[in-house]
Amino acid sequence: MAVLIFRRLCTSPFNYFSKRTIAINSTQTNKPQDNTREFYGSLRQVKTSPQKLNLVAKLIRGMDIANALIQVEFCEKKAADFVKSTLLDTQRRAVKTYGAKPLNLYVAESFVGKGEYLRRIRYHGRGRHGIMHKYYAHYFLKLKEGTPPKKKRKIEDQKIYKTRKLIERGPLSIPNSL
């Protein structure tokens, strides 16, 4: 079986995400042996701020592809269109090029990087001026084959669980106390 491993000798993690989708069998050393493939996609120089794009990117992390597409479809943010196009493009390339099943994918990673940062002049009244910033962002996506892993219990849920146990236990009687 041929194994395709994609490596670059660069320090930046963003160089691992090229403009094309790449399939990798995770049979590298120091990792457990599972035959799941990973599919990468990216969208560079998106005309929105990284903070706004990250709100949508966080929304779909860990979801399977069908639920992620539904969430992005009904999200009313402008950045959701960029995420949706990257999701569909990466899924289409994974199915067409590597023969992956279209509904057997889940979003393993979804994150945002800073893009170009332009400064422009903004004119005010009475001969004054200010600086206007134009933000760009990069969006990176990694799809994996299989079912998504189970989510760990959040810290807030653990606190509620502990509080509920304390209430059920009842008050403690402490000797020699008022």
DSSP per-residue letters across 109-161: EEEEEEEEEEEEEEE-STT-EEEEEEEEEEEEEEEEESPPPPPPPPHHHHHHH
Check residues 88 and 171 and name the one with the higher pLDDT.
88
H helix intervals, 61-142: 65-73, 79-98
Phi then psi dihedrals of residue 111, to 5 deg = -145, 170
Tell me the range of 23-27, 147-151, 157-161 where mean pLDDT is highest: 147-151
The answer to whether the pTM exceeds 0.75 is no
Cα 83 to chain centroid distance, Å, stands at 10
In whole angstroms, how large is the CA radius of gyration of the chain?
A: 23
SS3 at position 38:
strand
The rounded mean pLDDT for the chain is 83
Check residues 124 and 32 and name the one with the higher pLDDT.
124
Separation of alpha carbons 59 and 57, rounded Å: 5
CA dihedral angle for residue 137, residue 138, residue 144, residue 147, rounded to 10 degrees: 0
Token pair in block for residue 39: 């599919």
Token pair in block for residue 9: 């000798």
33-78 pLDDT, tens digit each: 567 899 999 999 999 999 999 999 999 999 999 999 999 999 999 9
Task: Name the maximum alpha-carbon separation found in the chain.
Answer: 78
Count CB neighbours of 55 within 10 A.
13
